[in-house]
Amino acid sequence: MRELKICEVAPRDGLQSLGRVLSVEERVDFVSRLYRAGLFKIEVGALVNPKLVPAMAGSDEVFTKLSALFPENQKNFSLLVPNAKGLEKAFAIGCQSVAFFTATSETFNQKNINRTVAESIAELGPLIAAAREKGMLVRLYVSTVFDCAYEGTKNPEKELAIFSELFDSVDEISLGDTTGRGTPQQVATLIAHGILDRWRDKIWWHFHDTYGHAADNVRVAMREGFTQFDSSAGGIGGCPFSPGAKGNIATEKVLSLAREAGLAHNIRLEGVRLL
């Protein structure tokens, strides 16, 4: 039986847009409950400008406390890193798994990280190389793959090509439907096009669920043989720089879709208090 893999993003994607800021201790408790439920691969925070995303302030402390509590899982606690300053912080605290991010939309990328897409690509190449040199597991998010809050419908079959070199250089590629407007047809078309074939084993799908398409999007990806998904326990999530974006697909939902698709897992979220 093939195995489902989940990257649990509630502690980062969910909490960054929750509307209330959780303390470091509350976040450590939250992640601990998820970990004990069998979610090992967890994005536990973001080393971004805390003035822009106050809910992620203290993510370094969250990581350090979790690493002390669960040293056996340290490599699976990842942090979102936007730039060299964030990567230096990740090195300093002994983080071994980082996620960089960019987008296919110029407007969103500017609003999110104050860079053009070309600037992002130029900046990320050396950062990815530096992280890999230290033996880190490196993920790259590409946002606005199917749709952008500012630019509308996207054309991933063409627009993903500029990231080819970066895709070659990372361990994981997470394709973000940031607004949740992506449709099953778009997902099917992108897969059928073949542009992803070269990196098939590295692909993770990151669906937000604003319009109720996320479950069907996951179904299409599972039907096409993909097994790696980002999801959020309780379905919280959203990007402060993408107006209207709602929660990520709930981890609970992905688990039930995995049952439908015959994918195995050992995650037990029933009865787990989330927030």
Binding site for ligand HMG (CB under 6 A): 13, 16, 46-49, 52-53, 80, 82-83, 85-86, 101, 112-114, 141, 143, 176, 178, 206, 208, 239, 241
Q: Which stretches within 37-135 are classed as H helix?
A: 59-69, 84-92, 106-113, 117-133
CB 105 within 8 A of CB 141: no
Q: Is 209 in the site for Mg ion (CB under 5 A)?
A: no
In the complex, minimum distance from the CB of residue 149 to ligand HMG, in angstroms, rounded to a whole number: 11
Q: Out of 7, 11, 13, 83, which residue is the one contacting Mg ion (CB under 5 A)? A: 13
Query: What one-letter code names the amino acid at 260?
Result: E
Nearest to 177 by CA among 137, 218, 138, 139: 218
The strand pairing partners of 137, in sequence order, are 97
CB of 227 to ligand HMG, least distance (A): 19
Minimum distance of ligand HMG from residue 52's CB (angstroms)? 5
What, of Mg ion, ligand HMG, none, does residue 44 touch, CB below 5 to 8 Å by kind? none
User: Residue 113 contacts by C-beta under 8 Å, 6 or more apart in sequence?
Assistant: 82, 83, 101, 102, 120
Q: Closer to Mg ion by CB, 13 or 147: give it.
A: 13
Note if 7 is an active site residue: no
The residue (of 143 and 227) whose beta carbon lies closer to ligand HMG is 143
Place of tokens 């925070």: 45
- What tokens were used for 206? 């990151």
Helix, strand, coil % over all residues of the chain, rounded to 5: 45, 20, 35
Of 37 and 249, CB closest to ligand HMG: 249
From 7, 95, 148, 239, the catalytic residue: 239
In whole angstroms, how close is the CB of 69 to Mg ion at the nearest point? 26
Q: Which one of the spans 8-16, 83-91, 101-109, 164-172 is the region binding Mg ion (CB under 5 A)?
A: 8-16
Closest of 150, 160, 162, 167 to residue 189, by C-alpha = 160
Bridge partners, 43 (sequence order): 78
Residue with tokens 């999110």: 112
Based on CB atoms, which residue is closest to ligand HMG, 80 or 131?
A: 80
**How many residues of this chain bind Mg ion (CB under 5 A)?**
1
Active site members = 239
Q: Which residues bind Mg ion (CB under 5 A)?
A: 13
